[in-house]
Structure 1
Amino acid sequence: MCGAKLVLPGAALDPVSLHALLRDEGVSFSLGVPTVWFALLDHIATLPPGDRAALKLDRVFMGGAATPAALITRFRDLLGVEAMQAWGMTETSPVATVCRPHAKHVGLDPDALVALRATQGRTVFGIELRIEDAAGAALPHDGAAAGLLKVRGPWVIERYFGVEAETMLDADGWLDTGDIARIDADGFLHVTDRAKDVIKSGGEWISSIDLENVATAYPGVAEAAVIGVPHPRWQERPLLLLRLNPGATVDRTSVLAYLARHVARWWLPDDVIIVDDLPHTATGKLLKTVLRERYHAHVAGT
């Protein structure tokens, strides 16, 4: 539609193949899931500066899973590439928001701009967003209140094929996305968790995504996953699983000390486990159902 060449990698999603394809085809704009981008950047970081300069890459979009601020920073610092993210669902056909800053954000300092780009952005034309509390009451778009995210629009799904229910929408036409989110006064969406993944500790919510985003910025960490594990007093407590870069080592105490500088102390994971790999869906999302089953009986220090 826009006259651009379209380059498709097929099944060759390993970082060596992707780098060669980006270089040889002169790709300037690319889209992918965070797990693929992390692997690609790890590979590019091992190459001489001349090989990096040969890339024509200018912008990348990310979706399918929440984008950590550390990934946006790596694109900026390693390649000088602008990294953005978008959010949507198959049910929204599919893009609902795109993270493009306002004109007033041009003068933001680099860290503040990265924090903004780590949100899911503003709605595209035709889409409306709403956040609700447990009783279904609308919550303010103040950047602080978090609630169940609902979406409405002319191309948002009304019903699923083969499902007997007349509609998946509520009385006002809103679809329950299954996400927990905040929305700020400028309309920027920040998805904090899936409703099924949010950790409920002592009656309060802990965002696994926020914890993962901070943990991935720790030196040597390639990927992080946070799940809730049962606790006799607090109902659930967070457990942090880390996959490290090749040759990297980290210790539990240092990781927790780093997290304590960025999140509330009662959010701190009860334990940190180093793993060789983390399971993913076909679209790059962490398979937390598998992780919860695997570690449901884990107790810190055992």
Structure 2
Amino acid sequence: MTEPHSRWTAHSTGAALAVFEYGDPESDTTVLLVHGYPDDHTMFHQMIDAIGDRARVIAYDTRGGGRTVVERPERSESFAIERLADDTYAVVESIPDLRGPVHAFAHDWGSVQMWEPMRDPRAVEVFGSFTSVSGPSIDHLRETSRRRGLRPTQWPSVLGQLGRSWYIWGFHVPVLGKYVPRLFVEAGPADPAPAADPLNMQRGVELYRANIIRRMLSGPPPRCDVPTLVVVPLKDRFLSPDLVQDVDRWVPDLTVLEVDAKHWWPWSHPGDAADVLLDHAHGDR
């Protein structure tokens, strides 16, 4: 396993973010890896090994994960998606001697949160590409659910996704909510996944509590002008493949790639994930 050759702390509002650098520090291709729940940056270790010296690799622990410290973890606003967007730019701005745009690759909640900084007008200057795996935009889900709710033929799709998202609603249930993280991990024993840290499992719940209901009720219109590749694992037990429908309404430069894999595709197929990321970064897809 490759060890980081550099690490530092990036400071954002209410958080000290643990940042790690791998790969070739002299490369003109810089990639940013953003993990999901209940992981931390170490879930990308095998993918980082697969990238090797083909890029400069920056990974960080998001709020609720790993070595990142949140000043007021008892406050929901500490985990608001707007703060998470600020974190992304804080990490990018902390990269020493950055050359050229950053190519973001995000999985699960890491991808959910990355749609927020992609809405920022700065995104087209900062990011050269965005690869999203198993993490739809909450704003897109809100708009899509509203449209499908008006069409009875689409109701089975809406109900099916609600069933797949049982754990999200469980996180919000008082008392019972504390048992949901363990059920989340144990619900799919046949799903290859990195070992879950109990601390990450408990702390990361706040990401859902602070954002899902709030942004599903009201939020800004979805938008992303950065060239985007959405990877759809066809055997994902948490997300329906048809959630990618209509994304092209608000992502002008969109490519969709279906893969025969389960939810943690970047972990179970690190070589494929590395190649897909770098191909997209170099404009080969």
Higher RCO structure (Cα 8 Å, ≥6 apart): 2
TM-score (norm 1): 0.26
TM-score (norm 2): 0.27
Name the larger-Rg structure.
1
Higher fraction of helix:
2
